[in-house]
Structure 1
């Protein structure tokens, strides 16, 4: 990460040389076209260039429409933005990947996708312990490699994968993901996963950066340690939590529908001290997970 300036402007270079913005806009649960349009408008003006969606979010079509209409407004082209989407767990099978990808591409209306992720290591409607999960995700990953080799995606990765899941892909194909998008915040983070990904040049990208805010749980945002640190920097609690991830080398995709928060989430003009980072790390003792747990998936 850069030593000076706005952390929100930083980019991470993936193992294949692709530059990925460190801060992007998450679109989870935004299923109204007008709302997403307004949100993307504010985000583009604020400087966001990465937009994260998924087949399961049911808003790829809305995002594509917003980008087609709004990029010209800001003098931007397709190449100026980085678009991520994901293979739904209901399509986690080798023979389903090509059609699922084509549908996502058509929905977004793009010639290529910047980053395509396997959304979850388990398939829909299959028990977590079923060994077919491993078979299906390896099949799917082989199809992802084909999409990459064909130039249809600039980078490929996974989401919610544990070290075991990542290791299995590497052993089966010799090709490791470029990104692993996981739940990551001071209440729940896996130092061993970060260490593994760093050593294998896999970039971690955080979702749920604000803890349980997406499920109306403000516990993390209201922690006394968070309050003390954001008061010290005259920052927002969200900015402190995002800086904590970014300074660990973890990319972020915060979601907000509020214009001033969208803007402030990408304006991080301070650096946390080592003491600040350690204090925030101490909140991990709570071990509070707010999203789905992949650890039980065979």
Structure 2
């Protein structure tokens, strides 16, 4: 597949792969190493981490060791990481610099504010908006220095996203949120489209629950593919980048095959009709 069909161009003008390896719960240098090795072999060129995953250093080391094996250099991969909620606000500079140091790859392609709230504060605390603004100003500063090539947010609601868009100097390049057929995030996607923000999915399999949904299983059987492939294809066929996580080499390889088939319009409609607004992951809607 050509890069034009397997990537999306951000508002920075830089392409970001539609498929990346999520590393949530990938712990320990050995597990990270073998997952990255399997992903690079299968054609993955994007890797998603976060300060709270505590694997940034392991990911950076694995990439530095493995890129030469596949004839690749640092510029061939797209690295995503995120500011931890404990560093929201005044500690944002220290948190972001720590991520840069842990990864030790020279720069981060995309750095996100992981959560609209602040660790240690109740969700309704009115300091949260100010802390978000301080964090964003820090990310803008590091973006201007070239240390963060693109900046964005994760788990923002429509209200949080509009607040940021109205006040920022550098617009967010990406919004990363939970997205799957049971949670289509229609309003967030509309706002992202209106303001040129790339909408990126996590938890595309509904924390594993959706692979046993009867409709998903039926579509998979008809397409002669796995339910996981169907769910990932449903997203990328709408231009939504995905970040499936796995430490299983076979599944990592299978998940890379989502560009080998196309879902019919009827299949897409049946899957989209599953939307019921259900969140499997954390819910940011109460964060002030």
TM-score for the superposition, normalised by structure 1: 0.93
Alignment partner of 2:264 out of 263, 266, 273: 273
User: In 2, distance between residues paired with 1:78 and 1:123?
Assistant: 32
Q: Is the CA contact 1:145–1:156 (under 8 Å) kept in the aligned structure 2? A: yes
Question: How far does residue 175 in structure 1 lie from its aligned partner after superposition?
Answer: 3.1
Confirm whether residue 179 of structure 1 aligns to residue 174 of structure 2.
yes
User: In 1, distance between residues paired with 2:98 and 2:12?
Assistant: 26
Structure-2 residue corresponding to 1:132: 127
Q: Is the CA contact 1:8–1:267 (under 8 Å) kept in the aligned structure 2? A: no
Q: Mark the runs of 5 or more structure 1 residues left unpaired by the alignment.
A: none
User: In 2, distance between residues paired with 1:277 and 1:262?
Assistant: 23
User: In 2, distance between residues paired with 1:170 and 1:8?
Assistant: 28
TM-score for the superposition, normalised by structure 2: 0.96
User: In 1, distance between residues paired with 2:4 and 2:272?
Assistant: 21
User: In 1, distance between residues paired with 2:119 and 2:272?
Assistant: 34
Q: Mark the runs of 5 or more structure 2 residues left unpaired by the alignment.
A: none
Structure-1 residue corresponding to 2:238: 248
Structure-2 residue corresponding to 1:282: 273
SS at match of 2:162: helix
Question: How far does residue 174 in structure 1 lie from its aligned partner after superposition?
Answer: 4.1
Alignment partner of 1:203 out of 198, 201, 204: 198
SS at match of 2:257: coil
For residues 111-146 of structure 1, the C-alpha deviation after alignment (integer angstroms, 9 at most, x for no partner) is: 110000000000101010111111100111011111
Structure-2 residue corresponding to 1:166: 161
Structure-2 residue corresponding to 1:92: 88
The alignment yields a C-alpha RMSD, in angstroms, of 1.4
| Alignment CA distance shift 1:259-1:249 (3 Å) | same
Count matched residues.
Answer: 287
Q: Is the CA contact 2:234–2:263 (under 8 Å) kept in the aligned structure 1? A: yes
Confirm whether residue 143 of structure 1 aligns to residue 138 of structure 2.
yes
Runs of 4+ in structure 1 off by over 3 angstroms are: 5-9
Question: How far does residue 7 in structure 1 lie from its aligned partner after superposition?
Answer: 9.4
